């Protein structure tokens, strides 16, 4: 079920995809909560997160700092960029 939204194809709602050709953002998702649909771009192009299971102390500290710094915005849910950055990149 491919969805075209504003000229961009998505594999479905709430399914993030990489956007390598976007000049600033690394990912995009067509978020849907109830009847609200919103295109969200997130993540800085060329920067990696710490991954789902960081091994080094440096990566663990980066992950902890990101989650602490953005906790309020992550809690806003699927219609916030921080929620998707946390889910996909961190």
pLDDT tens for 20-30 read 999 999 999 99
Domain count, the chain: 1
Query: Can you tell me the mean pLDDT for 30-36?
Result: 96
Domain of residue 21: give its range: 3-88
Q: What does the chain look like in DSSP terms, one character per residue?
A: --EEETTEEESSTT--EE-TTSSSEEEEEEEEETTEEEEEEEEETT-----SS--SHHHHHHHHHHHHHTHHHHTT-TTSHHHHHHHHT-
The predicted-structure confidence for 38-84, as pLDDT tens digits, reads as follows 999 999 998 877 777 888 899 899 899 999 999 999 999 999 999 99
């Amino acid at each position: 079920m491919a969805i075209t939204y504003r000229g961009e194809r998505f594999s479905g709602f709430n399914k993030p995809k990489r956007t390598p050709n976007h000049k600033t953002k690394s990912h995009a998702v067509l978020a849907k909560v109830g009847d609200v649909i919103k295109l969200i771009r997130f993540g800085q192009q060329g920067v990696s997160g710490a991954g789902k299971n960081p091994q080094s102390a440096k990566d663990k500290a980066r992950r902890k700092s990101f989650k602490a710094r953005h906790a309020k915005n992550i809690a806003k849910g699927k219609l916030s960029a921080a929620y998707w950055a946390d889910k996909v990149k961190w």
